[in-house]
Amino acid sequence: MLDEIVTVVKKCGDIILFADGAERNVSSKEGRANFVTKYDVAVQAYLEEELLKILPEAVFIGEEGEHSKAIGEGYAFIVDPIDGTTNFIKNYHRSCVSVGLALHGTMEIGVVYNPYSNEMFYAQRGKGAFLNGQPLHVSSNRLEEGLVCFGTSPYYAELIDQTFDLVKTLHRASLDVRRSGSAALDLCDIASGRCELFFECRLSPWDYAAGSLIVQEAGGRISRMNGTEISLDKGCSVLAGGPAAWKDYFKMEGHMELA
């Protein structure tokens, strides 16, 4: 099943890669800086059609659709057709397709594909995490030796000050900080050891479902920013990292704990 999902996701990447920049038909959704293009809609429609051919009994939950379906019952695909839509609109090549498959509320398969770099990240529960066929392992570095990547929760203006106050604290506690605009790819950077710690004060399940399993199968930790389990049913804060850096976060003076 994993191979079939990877094949479908790769084809979606081709849609993104060859998108006509002049014909992206951008519109706004609810919330600050929240956009959707015709390609988000087209990729999600393709994913829904093809993934349900693989697993017809599954529930399909995508960013560009109705979100009230229950994730905790049976199989559920949790999908972000283009994670990093603002990057996509601006032709800033840091966007991806993210597909997670959960069973009874537990992630079983995660696939994240960056078509611009041709990087296919994937994981299956109990079988490890991989990038283009090569095993992934998180960094063992402490926070003070590591890079911190973060998201700004741009749809939630009330979180701006909290986010950047924490960024300043983490900048002092680490080597440096990075902001890319795609939570799914940031989680894959944790899994691959490129960065040691990731946080974002508010995300939706489709932003982190696939990436969460990839991090875990690469030996990493992922939780809410208060250390409790992330939710697949509703949005929450996210903190991910190698085990050492993740633990260091909670020891750091000035760290923030959010649900």
| Ligand-binding site membership of 145 (annotated) | no
Three-state DSSP at 103 gives: strand
Q: How far apart are CA 205 and CA 234, in angstroms?
A: 6
Q: How far apart are CA 189 and CA 25, in angstroms?
A: 30
Instruction: Please name every residue paired with 35 in a beta bridge, in sequence order, or none if there are none.
Output: 28
Q: How far apart are CA 209 and CA 211, in angstroms?
A: 6
| Ligand-binding site membership of 14 (annotated) | no
Q: What is the torsional sign of CA 253, 254, 255, 256?
A: positive
Token representation of residue 67: 């979100």
| Ligand-binding site membership of 82 (annotated) | yes
| Ligand-binding site membership of 161 (annotated) | no
Instruction: Give CA separation, 114 vs 45, 188, 191, in Å.
Output: 19, 10, 15
| Ligand-binding site membership of 80 (annotated) | yes
Question: Which residues does the annotation place in the binding site for Mg(2+)?
Answer: 63, 80, 82-83, 207
> Which residues are annotated as part of the binding site?
63, 80, 82-83, 207
